[in-house]
Amino acid sequence: MRIGAHVSVAGGVDNAVTRQLDVGGNCGQIFTHSPQVWQEPNIDEEKASTFREGTANDLDGPWVIHASYLVNLATPKPDLREKSIESMQQEVDAAEQLGVEYVNVHLGAHTGAGVEAGLDNAASALDELDVPDGVTVLVESDAGSGTKLGGDFAELAAVLERSDQDLGVCLDTAHAFAAGYDLSSRAAVETAMEAFADTVGLDALACVHLNDSKHEHGTHKDEHAHLGEGEIGDEGIEAIVTHEALRDLPFVLETPTEDGRSYAWNVDRARTLRAE
């Protein structure tokens, strides 16, 4: 099972490998810098080399770089669009430097421009990127609150269809659940995956953000819970990690640190549910 967590790069990107091993992970996700600011990754090549070597020697992979929270591909605002494209270009270049396979990004919000215009904006912004060989941009499913796009699988499919880039999809289980796709039982997971297959296509699915949800499905509230202890629950998480279309994908945790438990507990829980 490829399972890991979103870990910190504090003190140098090479520290992410040790932190991943510390929580029992064998793949994972990082930010290259604080996701709350516009900032270049500026990765030291020596630390990048150590990161690459540590990954090759100690992990199964892959790694995913998560784009800045400030990036809004769907925006109608020219200045924000320009900053978003520039930030994404820096992330895909950093991915090439680190030997990271995926860069994950939310489509963002159309902020009143309308769904179709927002989808066009997102696709055309992605087309502005010079994505290095060996790097794939993944668009992430969203909880769909407000004017944010990506909650409906059809919106993910539309961007993949409209973009000239060879894009993939990251399915966030808590986001999909919040957006209205029930994942709380084996039958519900099967129905949701059939919808994904029919709308997006399973070939596009490259990664799963494995998170439980603190809120009921369809609420559009994005708040993650420990695996099996949220509204998705043990049955739903077990169905996800054992589903034929998902089981061989990398699972990345973004679960909370609370109640004396963090990533290590959730990595163990995922493996336990997989084995049951």
- 108: containing domain: 29-44+67-275
- DSSP lists the bridge partners of residue 154 as none
Q: What is the pLDDT of residue 276?
A: 77
Please give the Cα distance from 122 to 132 (Å, whole number): 19
Region 229-247: mean pLDDT is 98
Question: Which are the contacts of 105, defined by CB distance < 8 A and separation ≥ 6?
Answer: 66, 67, 71, 73, 88, 91, 137, 138, 139, 140
- Look at residue 176 and tell me if it is in a domain: yes
Write down the pLDDT at residue 217. Answer: 94
Q: Quick: pLDDT tens for 104-157.
A: 999 999 999 999 999 999 999 999 999 999 999 999 999 999 999 999 999 999
How far is Cα 152 from Cα 257, in angstroms, rounded to an integer? 29
Q: Are 47 and 12 in contact (CB under 8 A)?
A: yes
| Burial class of residue 134, CB neighbours in 10 A (0-12, 13-18, 19+) | exposed
Please, what is the angle between helix 186-199 and helix 153-162, to 10°? 30
Token representation of residue 154: 């059809």
Whether residue 95 lies inside any domain: the answer is: yes
- Does residue 245 have a pLDDT over 80? yes
In a domain, 57, yes or no: no
Question: Residues 175, 55, 168, 75: is their CA dihedral positive or negative?
Answer: positive
Per this entry, what is the length of the chain?
276
Asked if residue 223 is part of any domain, the answer here is: yes
Q: Is 53 among the domain residues? A: no
Query: Into how many domains does the chain fold?
Result: 1
- Segment 217-242 shows an average pLDDT of 97
In the chain, the percentage of residues whose pLDDT exceeds 70 is 100
The answer to whether position 168 is within a domain reads: yes
Domain for residue 149, yes or no? yes
In a domain, 204, yes or no: yes
Q: Which CATH number does the domain housing residue 224 bear?
A: 3.20.20.150
| pLDDT the model gives residue 233 | 98
Read off the amino acid at residue 202: L
